Amino acid sequence: MTDWNIRLLETAEELKQVEELQSLIWTASEIEIIPVHLLVTAVHNGGLVFGAFSGEKMIGFVFGFPGLESTPDGPRPKHCSHMMGVHPDHINSGLGYALKRAQWQMVRHQGLDHITWTFDPLLSRNAYLNIAKLGAVCSTYRRSEYGELRDGMNAGLPTDRFQVDWWVNTPRVDTRLSKRSRPTLKLNHIARSGLQLFYPVELNANSLPQPPEHCPPFEARLLLAEIPPDFQALKRQDFAIARDWRFFGRVLFESAFAKGYIVTDFVFDQNRSLYVLTHGDSTLDQFE
């Protein structure tokens, strides 16, 4: 049993707690917090804010709104999931997954089948939730998406982001969000597949992971791309190496997406973090 309940938020009084939780999670300045008046306007015009509560205390939220995307056939409606936050005391509790599941249910009820959002591709826990647990995919890399941010998590580095696609009515997503969800990939699945790392990741004298100097040629139809297991800790320990990872990741993913690869899975196991990139119909599903 969980020790929280999740509900839609609609009033200024409820949404004030979203303001306060943003400040706590991101140690952000007042100008970088989504204010109550904007949240109220969004929810009164098709937007959704879910809050998770332990008793009367808000411990998590997710916020999104309707949007349009360009297609060859013209503009198409979607839901843009802009922000999700979980109180530090409830990290790794499954609350983020529960909030996204509530969002998934309501967006489908609104008649939309596509949700997009952005996240830092070097944050392993976010990748594990978004790609492995929720079943989102990615083929879009956005450089410096939010310009310069000064909050505690983003200060000092370009705000490069993945934009993910969450096709909410697909079997892929349904199997991950059903009561009998698909198990996530582990390192033993990779070992059984015989798939090799796309590039080696070596440790420096301080046992910190360093990115390769160059991106290898893209030849295989399935690629395993490793990233640091804890990018925020790496950033605190050695900012220069964290910056090198940002620019290596930019080259890696922009090149892969330009060649038709898609991020389809993520392995977060035994202090290792690896993206699975696929080309065409290639898949690791037979090993799951």
Mind listing the pLDDT tens digit for each residue in 151-167?
556 667 999 999 999 99
Same domain? For 72 and 192 the reply is: no
Kindly tell me if the per-residue pLDDT of 29 is higher than 70.
no
- For residue 75, the enclosing domain spans 5-177
Residues 159 and 192 in one domain: no
Confidence of residue 178 (pLDDT cuts 50, 70, 90): confident
| 122-145: average pLDDT | 97
Confidence check: pLDDT of 288 > 50 = no
User: Given 143, 177, 211, which residue is the final one in a domain?
Assistant: 177
- Beta bridge partner(s), residue 273: 227, 268
* Domain's final residue, options 150, 177, 204: 177
60-85 pLDDT per residue, tens: 999 999 999 999 999 999 999 999 99
Is 24 found in the same domain as 144? yes
Q: If you average pLDDT over every residue of the chain, what do you get?
A: 92
**208 inside domain:** yes
285 pLDDT higher than 60: no
Check whether residue 224 and residue 92 sit in a common domain: no
Tell me: pLDDT of 190 over 80: yes
Residue 261 pLDDT greater than 90, yes or no: yes
In a domain, 196, yes or no: yes
Report how many domains make up the chain: 2
Question: How far apart (Å, rounded) are the C-alpha atoms in residues 115 and 168?
Answer: 7
Verify that 120 and 234 share a domain, yes or no: no
CB 63 within 8 A of CB 74: no
* Residue 123 and residue 164 in one domain: yes
